[in-house]
Amino acid sequence: MVEFRKFKSENISEIGLGTWQLGSSDWGDLNRETAFEILESFYNSGGNFIDTADVYGMGNSEKTIGSYIKESGNIFFIATKLGRRHDSPNGWPQNFEIDAMRRFTEESLNHLGIDQIYLQQLHCIPFDVLKKKAVFDHLRKLQEDKLIKYWGVSVETTEEALFCLEQEGIAAIQIIFNLFRQHVAEELFSKAREKNVALIIRVPLASGLLSGKFDEDTKFSTQDHRNYNANGEAFNVGETFSGIPFDRGLKLIPKIVEIMPQGNLAVLALRWILDHDAVSTVIPGASSPKQVKSNMSASEMANLPEEVHIKLRSLYDNEIKNFIRGPF
Ligand SMILES: NC(=O)c1ccc[n+]([C@@H]2O[C@H](COP(=O)([O-])OP(=O)(O)OC[C@H]3O[C@@H](n4cnc5c(N)ncnc54)[C@H](OP(=O)(O)O)[C@@H]3O)[C@@H](O)[C@H]2O)c1
């Protein structure tokens, strides 16, 4: 079964579940039955921390989770996000005013069918808006009104993360960290630990690339962001393959395999993340219950040998770091 790590006064599963895939076409089609099987597999493996967002499938990810909770009676610590809705009547800047943030939160509560959101996160909103700090007051107000238990931010860069870490009352920072984005640990991890701020690790498998299952012939459907955003055509390139060009990523896989012990590469890539104590939970997304079960097994493994960490870091410094695209 999965191990747990501390998040404030709760124990959350160190492998969580990312649910961008549920009810959203950004990964191709995933039907409701499979979505329920994914959630069931996660719950049965001991998982209790789920990450979603109001924009995933424009509410469909939250609604699917809400229906599953209602039908199964199983409960989770749910982290959602706000700030990227494009259907808001007044447009982007108004998304960050208290009325809009309250409305988005109430809609998420409604979709999820729960009374309080465990963690509300700002969804990669512009740094300029973060710097004005009003959004943090709004989150504190939503917390005071008990709509949310904790609040945090999902960010793109270490600079943004370090800025947010200084904000009174912040509970969590969500950031991309994986074998293709190793430097993130350098400054942020020790500071987050000092301040007792949780670290939620997204895109841990570089959108599946780090499972080693893709090759030159792999084709993604036109609705899949690994097709339409492979080079950042639609949104931040870092959110797709964590910013590594697909063909370079493919060439790196055999080099990673050579360094790693024998085993399932996706599981080893997740284990590598868990070996960093400052990490609170890793949230791989999944397109099948089998993937969920396999990913959860990373929690049962022993840490990777130190020598493996050193070699993977050297590979990163010499052959990966300079090729990552997107702000970090
Ligand atoms: N801005 C933000 O805040 C933001 C941005 C991105 C993601 N997120 C969150 O972070 C979560 C995780 O990131 P992500 O889903 O983008 O990327 P990811 O976790 O790196 O990759 C997920 C994909 O990897 C493949 N996969 C997963 N487990 C596998 C296994 N055991 N074997 C083989 N392939 C496997 C699946 O691909 P196939 O579909 O090809 O099977 C799956 O869809 C998201 O679901 C979302 O909750 C947040």
Nearest CA-CA partner of 26 in 46, 66, 67, 56:
56
233 CA to centre of ligand 1 in angstroms: 19
Mutate which of 181, 203, 215, 283 to test ligand 1's pocket (most atoms within 8 Å of Cβ)?
Answer: 203
Place of tokens 């950004």: 26
The model's pTM = 0.97
Q: What is the CATH number of domain 4-323?
A: 3.20.20.100
Q: Give the pLDDT confidence score for residue 28 in this predicted structure.
A: 82
Give the separation between CA 42 and CA 169, rounded to whole angstroms: 30
The rounded average pLDDT for each run of 10 residues, N- to C-terminus, in the chain (328 residues) is: 95 98 84 96 98 94 97 98 78 83 97 98 95 97 98 97 98 98 93 97 98 97 95 95 97 98 98 98 98 98 98 98 93
Dihedral sign (CA 62, 65, 68, 74): negative
Ligand 1: which residue has its CA nearest to atom 26?
Answer: 208
The secondary structure element, H or E, covering residue 18 is: strand 17-18
Radius of gyration, alpha carbons of the chain: 19
Q: Is 72 helix (H, G, I), strand (E, B) or coil?
A: helix
241 CA to centre of ligand 1 in angstroms: 9
186 CA to centre of ligand 1 in angstroms: 24
Residue pair 281/12 in contact (Cβ under 8 Å)? The answer is yes
Ligand 1: which residue has its CA nearest to atom 35?
Answer: 208
Map out the domains of the chain as residue ranges.
Answer: 4-323
89 CA to centre of ligand 1 in angstroms: 31
Pocket lining for ligand 1, CB < 6 angstroms: 18-21, 27, 51, 81, 123-124, 154, 174, 202-208, 211, 213, 239, 266, 283-287, 291, 294-295
The partner residues of 121 in beta bridges, in order of sequence, read: 81, 152
Q: What is the DSSP string of 118-159?
A: EEEEEES--HHHHHH-HHHHHHHHHHHTTSEEEEEEE-SSHH
Give the separation between CA 127 and CA 175, rounded to whole angstroms: 14
Q: Give the pLDDT confidence score for residue 327 in this predicted structure.
A: 87
Q: Give the pLDDT confidence score for residue 23 in this predicted structure.
A: 79
Which pLDDT tens digit goes with each residue over 35-56? 999 999 999 999 999 999 999 9
Q: Give the pLDDT confidence score for residue 138 in this predicted structure.
A: 98
* C-alpha triplet 284, 286, 290: angle, nearest 5°: 115
Ligand 1: which residue has its CA nearest to atom 31?
Answer: 291
Written as six digits, the tokens of 202 are 């997204």
